[in-house]
Structure 1
Amino acid sequence: MSFGAVDMEEESGAAAAAAAAEEIRRLPAEVNWEMLDKSRFFVLGAALFSGVSAALYPAVVVKTHLQVAPPPQAATATATAAAILRRDGLRGFYRGFGASLAGTVPARALYMAALEATKSSVGSAAVRLGVSEPTASAVASAAAGVSAAVAAQVVWTPVDVMSQRLMVQTAASCRYRGGADAFRKILLADGVRGLYRGFGLSILTYAPSNAVWWSTYAVAQRCLWRAVGHERSESCTSLMAVQGASAAVAGAASALVTMPLDTVKTRLQVMEADAAARPTLASTVRGLLKEGGWAACYRGLGPRWGSMSLSAATMVTTYEFLKRLSAKEGSLG
């Protein structure tokens, strides 16, 4: 190889490195864990995410009804929503919301703490090992997603079990008088094991889902910023638009991939325990397939797809906004 070719390769490498550095410079400033005022972060986060959860809760109720309905009663999302409204009024869309909200604050706190701490430590370690910044960002986001999902499920699984049972009961078939009553009755009937029914499946569902979601979100954001060519100083509106679009794509893909697992998990958590034949993962899957084949595993896909896309876009824009509100003075430059 001639010296001229070597020089050309070196120049090409230098140009690529310069282009990568310029791309990073043009991206909006990342607010990492060390830059946050933690007390402000958790207090504001609890308030903001409680509001978002309230707005999206009806879609979760409709999705849950569709997943647990037996074949003769299976209907479309619209028909299910109309039936809930006709039978229970608007109150029917918020059954179990109190129990869900009570768990949202500690679960979100654990989720956000694990997410940011893991992302910061893994990202820094990857860069020190010589991994390129874009790859390090995607790897750190994936690891952070897994860590956050596992941490949150410690709190969220019992809350999910209680709130889902409250969601599907009607005034005529009311067995639980609220979250506290559901907690007491489930504990008496099944012990702690009853509150953590579906925990393993929840981890199996949400850990890889979160890994894919956060890594896809990081890559999608970078692609969108490259496409629109905005500078670091762009307006908050542009920032939220790019983040929201990236989150919606990641949320929709995640919903499609994890839908069968979510349906099985919901069935397993909602089914009442029977001393003679406690529901197991295998029996739940067999029952679901017997009812309607693989199509039964995708009941409620429409509401879940819409809910997760909207939830993802709303949650992420809220989350990124929250991080900027919680940044320490002078940390953003």
Structure 2
Amino acid sequence: MSTDAPEPLPSPRTPRNRYAPAPPRLPSHEASPQNQRIDSPFSSLTVAFAHLPNSTVNALCGASAGIASGIVTCPLDVIKTRLQGQGSFRPRNLARPSRAVYNGLVGTARVIWLEDGVRGMYRGLGPMLLGYIPTWAVYMTVYDFSKDFFGPRMENKWLSRISASVTAGACSTLATNPIWVIKTRLMSQVSARALEENRPPWHYKGTFDAFRKMYTTEGIGAFYSGLAPALLGLTHVAIQFPLYEYFKMRFTGLEMGQTNTQNDDVHWLGILGATILSKICATSATYPHEVLRTRLQTQQRTLPSHSHEEISFRGGHGYGHRTRPPGTASSDGMINMPRYRGVIKTCTTILHEEGWRAFYNGMGTNMLRAIPAAVTTMMTYESLRSWHQKAKFEEEQIELDSLEH
């Protein structure tokens, strides 16, 4: 291993060094990593982990980070989803709602607790975890690979980071959108004691029941509802991860996923600061797309009909702007047009019915959810990457010692 001092970040045209320079190898008479690891209770696991390729480690670290994040923030995600979807199930009368059922973080939590208890606060946890595992596994793997791909081909380092973020985000979104639709549906589901105007036109017993009923009654297209605003949300990761790398470089001098093997310090404060700042900036700039995605994902379809529109939507627009309660069909045989159609039409409808503030419903709650989620994700990811790099370095030291003796 090299004994030189740490070098500055290489240019995008040179291969990226994943690891910070290693410390000088200890003389044989001093305590070696091999001797230190003999007494470790996790020695066999560490050895196995050290031999994993970087692509597998990225996937495992990303999946583990997603699971930890989902468990910590599920109640806040339920509250955010209820606030975002509020107003999408009421009958259409062109008048804005006279009374909001969900008011802020505390008010929404109180309503959910009184109606459903603890179970309501963790509704949708199953598909959330099921979604986080492939989402972050795909994202972290593709992001790391894309940085290596775009880095030598682009003059601007940060443009290559943005390209890598968008590429990774697109791959993970396309792969996992059906899971997130199910998660949103479950989190939007209210108690049977709730008022009918606030009740969605479905009831699912769980993740697999939701999948079966959606496929049977709505078809495969239902699982890709909200895909357009979800892809629009790639602007979020295009802001967050390059900013995270920038702030981490400024605070610690290391890239994302990189650690210094010279000591056990993982620069937690630098990672924490970089995560919080990047997440606040990205969420503030791109939040309205989350409301659009929630509204489209919670709009129920029916299977193709004989009308020339081919598909109808529960609780949609009727002719003459008459209202039909969610889940009912048109009594006059007219086409049941969707309430929300595409990004632009959905924006227009929400603005006309509820005003511009509706685009920021649940933003405060989302900040309280998103920041701990991001911190949990990045701390888990960085710590696991650090463990892998240190274990890999120790293995190399052991191999060098064995060759010398």
**Bin for the TM-score computed over the shorter chain:** 0.7 to 0.9
**Paired position in structure 2 for 1:139:** 159
Report matched runs for 1:105-116 at 5 Å.
Answer: 105-116=133-144
**Paired position in structure 1 for 2:379:** 317
In the superposition, relative to structure 1, how do residues 235 and 290 fare at CA in structure 2: closer, same or farther (>3 Å)?
farther
Q: Is the 8 Å Cα contact of residues 127 and 182 (structure 2) preserved in structure 1? A: yes
The structure with the largest alpha-carbon Rg is 2
Report matched runs for 1:39-78 at 5 Å.
Answer: 39-43=56-60, 45-70=62-87, 71=97, 72=99, 73-78=101-106
CA displacement, residues 177-234 of structure 1 (integer Å, 9 cap, x when unaligned): 11111112222233221100111220111x22111111111221222237xxxx9567
In the superposition, relative to structure 1, how do residues 225 and 41 fare at CA in structure 2: closer, same or farther (>3 Å)?
closer
In structure 2, which of residues 214, 237, 240 is the aligned counterpart of residue 213 of structure 1? Answer: 240
**Paired position in structure 2 for 1:280:** 341
Q: State the secondary structure of the residue aligned to 1:310.
A: helix
CA displacement, residues 41-65 of structure 1 (integer Å, 9 cap, x when unaligned): 4345434431221111111111110
In the superposition, relative to structure 1, how do residues 237 and 52 fare at CA in structure 2: closer, same or farther (>3 Å)?
farther
**Paired position in structure 2 for 1:169:** 189
Q: Distance in 2 between matches of 1:40 and 1:263?
A: 34
Amino acid aligned to 2:78: V
In the superposition, relative to structure 1, how do residues 273 and 112 fare at CA in structure 2: closer, same or farther (>3 Å)?
same
Q: Distance in 2 between matches of 1:315 and 1:215?
A: 16
Q: Distance in 2 between matches of 1:200 and 1:326?
A: 37
In the superposition, relative to structure 1, how do residues 183 and 31 fare at CA in structure 2: closer, same or farther (>3 Å)?
farther
Report matched runs for 1:102-251 at 5 Å.
Answer: 102-126=130-154, 131=155, 135-136=156-157, 138-172=158-192, 175-205=203-233, 207-225=234-252, 236-237=264-265, 239-251=267-279
Q: Is the 8 Å Cα contact of residues 68 and 267 (structure 1) preserved in structure 2? A: yes
Amino acid aligned to 2:77: V
Q: Is the 8 Å Cα contact of residues 45 and 322 (structure 1) preserved in structure 2? A: no
Q: State the secondary structure of the residue aligned to 1:170.
A: coil
**Paired position in structure 1 for 2:392:** 329
Report matched runs for 1:5-24 at 5 Å.
Answer: 23-24=8-9
Identity in percent: 25
In the superposition, relative to structure 1, how do residues 121 and 194 fare at CA in structure 2: closer, same or farther (>3 Å)?
same
In the superposition, relative to structure 1, how do residues 119 and 90 fare at CA in structure 2: closer, same or farther (>3 Å)?
same
Q: Please provide the CA RMSD for this pair.
A: 2.8
- How many residues are matched? 296
Q: Distance in 2 between matches of 1:183 and 1:31?
A: 43
CA displacement, residues 232-272 of structure 1 (integer Å, 9 cap, x when unaligned): 56755551221121111111111111111111111111122
Q: Distance in 2 between matches of 1:224 and 1:139?
A: 21
Q: Distance in 1 between matches of 2:284 and 2:62?
A: 28
Is 1:259 matched up with 2:287? Answer: yes
Q: Is the 8 Å Cα contact of residues 19 and 260 (structure 2) preserved in structure 1? A: no
In the superposition, relative to structure 1, how do residues 214 and 47 fare at CA in structure 2: closer, same or farther (>3 Å)?
closer
Q: Distance in 2 between matches of 1:225 and 1:123?
A: 21
Q: Distance in 1 between matches of 2:392 and 2:260?
A: 19
**CA displacement at 1:40 relative to structure 2:** 4.6
Q: State the secondary structure of the residue aligned to 2:190.
A: coil
Q: Distance in 1 between matches of 2:61 and 2:242?
A: 25
Q: Distance in 1 between matches of 2:7 and 2:135?
A: 38
Q: Is the 8 Å Cα contact of residues 261 and 393 (structure 2) preserved in structure 1? A: no
Q: Is the 8 Å Cα contact of residues 216 and 250 (structure 1) preserved in structure 2? A: yes
In the superposition, relative to structure 1, how do residues 30 and 309 fare at CA in structure 2: closer, same or farther (>3 Å)?
farther
**CA displacement at 1:90 relative to structure 2:** 1.3
Amino acid aligned to 1:59: L
Unmatched 5+ stretches in structure 2: 1-5, 11-16, 21-51, 88-96, 193-198, 254-258, 303-311, 313-335, 398-405
In structure 1, which of residues 71, 79, 83 is the aligned counterpart of residue 107 of structure 2? Answer: 79
Q: Distance in 1 between matches of 2:69 and 2:206?
A: 22
**Paired position in structure 2 for 1:295:** 357
Unmatched 5+ stretches in structure 1: 1-20
Q: Is the 8 Å Cα contact of residues 248 and 313 (structure 1) preserved in structure 2? A: yes
Amino acid aligned to 1:162: I
**CA displacement at 1:37 relative to structure 2:** 4.1
Q: Is the 8 Å Cα contact of residues 141 and 215 (structure 1) preserved in structure 2? A: yes
Question: Please, which moves more after superposition, 283-292 or 187-196?
Answer: 283-292
CA displacement, residues 148-170 of structure 1 (integer Å, 9 cap, x when unaligned): 11011123211111111111212
